[in-house]
Amino acid sequence: MKIEGLPGPEDLAIDREEKILYVSSHERRIQNRLGKIFTIDLKNPSFPTELFVKYPPEFRPHGISLLKTKDTYRLYVISHPKFYEVHTIEIFERKGKEWLHVGTLTDPLLTSPNDLFVVSENEIFLSNDHGTGGVPRYLWDDLFGFKRAEISHYDGKNWSNLGNPLSFGNGILYTKDSRGNEFLYRSGYSDRSVFQFPIRREQGKPVLEEPKRIHIHSGPDNLELDSQGRIFVVGHGSTYRFLRHVINPNYYSPTQVFRISPDGNFQEVFATSGDLISAGSTAIPFEGRLYIAQVFNPYILNCKYTNSN
């Protein structure tokens, strides 16, 4: 089943209590096209509804993260007001039934932000997919696989660099287990792996320890946590077919979905050559369904799924 009317629904965020799916939507194939945020009522997920809010200028959404606490209900959304040059995090807050744009974060350490995870108002982890330098340097790094895409961290006041550069960083996810151990997961597209970093705190500041590499043999994209503490990641099996799909929406690009256990074991739970969905980007299981988003084409795939061992 397709949930249609969503140009380039690249990233998702879920409110499991209210059964709402938030969608970052941007038509990337048309130059200078602006984007929007949509919501999907998972009690009746047949169609999306545009989030009624005043967007900031030149809003082109990418990664999205929901922060829900007792006092705060916010969406943090990466935006690219000027591709390859200007990058921001736009903050939207729900007050009652009304949504407001309440702030913008930007910093030179947002070199090419792809995804983010908001732990609190005073902590954000962000994954860059490239380093500094703009288009020529991006292409140079991609061609030779230079590792310059780093992790950035926000402490509520300042941004800092957590290092660990990759040649193409992608999704990022923070978790905390029942014993209080903290971990940061990051997708390395070119490495065809997900990296699990134990987090050590020094005076409250995170320090990433040596990562465990989970080699899924596919280019991983966004990372999502299910209700049982397992990670769902979408994989791009073929970079060549992905690049062909960028140009031609009818050219299939394979999509895989993997489920990763806290111990690092993983299994493929969904796969298509691209006929069902091409260039998938995010997957979220919820109440017997699996919702799969994609980078370009205008729909989310809603399929039956039993999330068991």
- The whole-number pLDDT of residue 134 equals 84
pTM, two decimals, is 0.97
Q: Which CATH class is domain 2-304?
A: mainly beta
- The whole-number pLDDT of residue 84 equals 85
- The whole-number pLDDT of residue 15 equals 98
Give domain limits for the chain.
2-304
Q: Nearest 5°: CA angle at 275, between 295 and 80?
A: 5
- The whole-number pLDDT of residue 50 equals 98
Walking along the chain (309 residues) 10 residues at a time, the average pLDDT comes out as 97 98 98 96 95 98 98 98 94 96 98 98 98 90 93 98 96 96 98 98 96 98 96 98 97 98 96 98 97 98 86
- The whole-number pLDDT of residue 307 equals 72
- The whole-number pLDDT of residue 4 equals 97
Amino acid at site 188: G
Closest CA to 285 of 221, 222, 232, 236: 232
Q: In whole angstroms, what is the distance from residue 40 CA to residue 33 CA?
A: 22
Contact in structure between 129 and 149 (CB atoms under 8 Å): yes
Q: Annotate 56-67 with b (16+ C-beta within 10 A) or e (fewer).
A: beebbbbbbbeb
pLDDT, tens digit (0-9, with 9 covering 90-100), for 18-55: 999 999 999 999 989 999 999 999 999 989 999 999 99
